[in-house]
Chain A
C-alpha cells in the first residue's frame, strides 16, 4: 500500500537544488584549499628539530626513523657486549690472582 505522503511545494525542490549547490561548493572549496596548502607545505618544508627526540615526520620519514632507532639499539647492544667482555677479563684476572694467593679456593 502506498503511504500517504504530504506533497511538498516547489519551494522544497528549489531548496534542495540550493543545498546541493552549496554542498558541492563547500566540497570544491575544501579540495582547492587542500591543494593550495599541500603545495605550500611542499615549498616551505620546516627542517627537522634535532633538540626533540622521537618520531615527528610524515609517512615517508617513518622508515628513516625506524632505521635510526635500530642503529641506536644495535649500538647500545654492542656497548653492552664490550662491558661484558671487560667484566669477563677482570674476573679472569681476579681468579688468576686468587689461584696464586689461595690454592684450592675454587673447591671451597
Chain B
C-alpha cells in the first residue's frame, strides 16, 4: 500500500465526509421540533398579548370564529402533539397531527388571504404562512414514516 495523495482523492473525501454529516443529521426531528416550537410560541403570544394587539383587519375573521384564548389552546395542542410525534414516530398519529396542524394553519392562511383580497392588505403574511407550513408538512410526513 502507498499513500494516495491527489487533489481528486482529497476532494472526493471532503465531499463524502460532508455528505455523511448531512445524511446523518436528524432532519425530520429537527423540522418537527421547529414546528412544535412555532406552535408553542404562537400559543404563548395568544395567551399573553392583549386582544387589541392581536385584532387586526387580517385576523378579524379568524377571531370571529374563535376567541384568542381558544386559538391559544389549539396551538398548544398542536405543539404538544408535535412533541409527542418527535419522541415517538407513528403513521396514524402522524397523519392525525398533520391534519390538526394543517387545519390550524389553513384557517390562518385563509384569513390572511381574505385580508389581501378584501382589504388590500399586504400579501407578505400569506406568503409567510404558506412557506412556514410546507417544511412542517415535509417534517411531519418524514417523522411519521419513522425517519430520524
Interface set of A (CB-CB < 8 Å, partner B): 1-3, 5-8, 10, 12-13, 15-24, 27-28, 30-31, 34-35, 59, 62-63, 66, 69-70, 73-74, 77, 81
Instruction: Kindly supply a per-residue 1/0 record for chain B positions 1-31, scoring 1 wherever the CB is within 8 Å of any chain A CB and 0 otherwise.
Output: 0101010110010011001000100000000
The residue of chain A having its C-beta at the shortest distance from the C-beta of B141 within the complex is: A31
The residue of chain A having its C-beta at the shortest distance from the C-beta of B130 within the complex is: A23
Interface set of B (CB-CB < 8 Å, partner A): 2, 4, 6, 8-9, 12, 15-16, 19, 23, 51-52, 55-57, 60-62, 64-65, 95, 98-99, 102-107, 109-111, 113-114, 118, 133, 137, 141, 145
Minimal beta-carbon separation of A67 from chain B (angstroms): 9
Interface of A is mostly: helix
Cα–Cα distance between A10 and B60 once the two chains are bound (Å): 11
15 contacts between A and B (CB under 8 A): A2-B51, A7-B60, A8-B61, A10-B64, A16-B107, A18-B110, A19-B113, A20-B104, A20-B106, A20-B107, A23-B109, A23-B110, A24-B103, A31-B98, A77-B2
Given the complex, which residues of B lie within 8 Å of A63, measured CB to CB? 16
Given the complex, which residues of B lie within 8 Å of A10, measured CB to CB? 64
Interface of B is mostly: helix
Cα–Cα distance between A10 and B104 once the two chains are bound (Å): 18
The residue of chain A having its C-beta at the shortest distance from the C-beta of B91 within the complex is: A35
Cβ-defined contact, A6 with B106, below 8 A:
no
Cα–Cα distance between A3 and B8 once the two chains are bound (Å): 64
Name the 10 nearest CB pairs between A and B, nearest first.
A19-B110, A23-B106, A12-B61, A20-B106, A2-B52, A20-B107, A24-B102, A27-B102, A13-B65, A66-B16
Cα–Cα distance between A20 and B106 once the two chains are bound (Å): 4
The one of B6, B107, B137 in contact with A73, judged by C-beta atoms closer than 8 angstroms, is B6
